[in-house]
Amino acid sequence: MDLLNTLVDKGLRRELPTREEALAVLATSDDDLLDVVAAAGKVRRQWFGRRVKLNYLVNLKSGLCPEDCSYCSQRLGSKAEILKYTWLKPDEASQAAAAGVAGGAKRVCLVASGRGPTDRDVDRVAQTIAAVKEQNEGVEVCACLGLLTDGQAERLRGAGADAYNHNLNTSEATYADITKTHTYADRVDTVRKAHAAGLSACSGLIAGMGESDEDLVDVVFSLRELDPDSVPVNFLIPFEGTPLAKEWNLTPQRCLRILAMVRFVCPDIEVRIAGGREVHLRSMQPLALNIANSIFLGDYLTSEGQAGKADLEMIADAGFEIEGTDQVTLPAHRVDADAAAGCGSHDGGGCGPCGSGEPAAKADEARTDLVAVRRRGAGTDLAPNA
């Protein structure tokens, strides 16, 4: 297929595809799907080999968010029956993080619901970062605390944070359709603040909210322009009790095409399969590892994920290897470019369970059986899944 040959050549040269080429990937047929995966796999292996980076989420503060993001179970007015609790103490967060590190996670993502942190919150998270790093030598720490004000990214960096996550989620043109309490520009500004402070920027998207192919391409091209080091690709979990509970728009094939398009547009950037992989990719998860080089291990913020042991077995069975703390995630040219900014995350130092054995759902059939609210780990007395 000429399209795929062109995209592989561009990916190996780190050359941006055209919008038309990116849209064409999303429009490919099921007959061509394995060819699309194989082509994206060539680009993935060029820059990341067969390594898979494991990341582990710790939800520092769950629920009761004043923002109205339609996709989120923690949103203002959410009726989703999720865990709700205020800030974990640093030692509680560190213990939760240790479970993920013991399972093979190289990066711990410290997440808190809310519009953005107060200065007191930044102090609190700084103590948590110190506790996590003291207990887990060599671990990377990424903070995800919402919109940042001037100086907060620098304070997090000074406290030992390696990265900051803030997703764009969808295209600028449709952003106001999913969130009213802040703007797309606010999100872009926070990613830029993180970058400017020397933090490794992490920013991605959510697919499956009813967006068009054009919207998906728009947000991925915007991400490429922002040049984050990692792009998490989330697949919407339609939580009961949220405005998007009826949005079941994804199939495993659609998810693979989206991941491939992201890889072609962002060839040398860490592409992470994030929330929703178990719900929407289901038995096709191993195939997605040929495109993405990073996943979350175990549970997510408010929902259960595949068992950590099953994640590790899946990676091994698919012929991939876990990236160690002594290995550098990004290609050398990106590490060299980031070195001047002082980013420390390159030198080693945004949900449901797997399928139940039932027949695969049709594209328009809701799989509510695959959405399970998290009831273990951070904020509970039960052991975490890692």
pLDDT (tens digit per residue) in 58-107:
999 998 899 999 999 988 888 888 889 999 999 999 999 999 999 999 99
- Binding residue ranges for [4Fe-4S] cluster: 65, 69, 72
Render pLDDT for 231-276 as a digit per residue (tens, 0 to 9). 999 999 999 999 999 999 999 999 999 999 999 999 999 999 999 9
Structure-block tokens of residue 134: 């003291």
- Binding residue ranges for [2Fe-2S] cluster: 109, 142, 202, 272
Distance CA 40, CA 194 (A): 29
Strand pairing category for 163-165 and 270-273: unpaired
Over residues 315-328, mean pLDDT: 95
Over residues 279-303, mean pLDDT: 95
Active site residues: 65, 69, 72, 109, 142, 202, 272
Q: What is the pTM of this model?
A: 0.89
Coil/strand/helix, residue 349 = coil
* pLDDT > 90 in the chain, percent: 80
Count of CB atoms within 10 A of residue 181's CB? Answer: 13
State residue 89's pLDDT score: 96
Residue with tokens 């993935």: 44
Q: How confident is the model at residue 339 (pLDDT cuts 50, 70, 90)?
A: low
pLDDT > 60? residue 180: yes
* pLDDT > 70 in the chain, percent: 93
Which domains does the chain show, CATH number per domain? 2-370 (3.20.20.70)
Q: How confident is the model at residue 365 (pLDDT cuts 50, 70, 90)?
A: low
Of 72, 63, 66, which is closest to residue 181 (Cα–Cα)? 66
- Binding residue ranges: 65, 69, 72, 109, 142, 202, 272
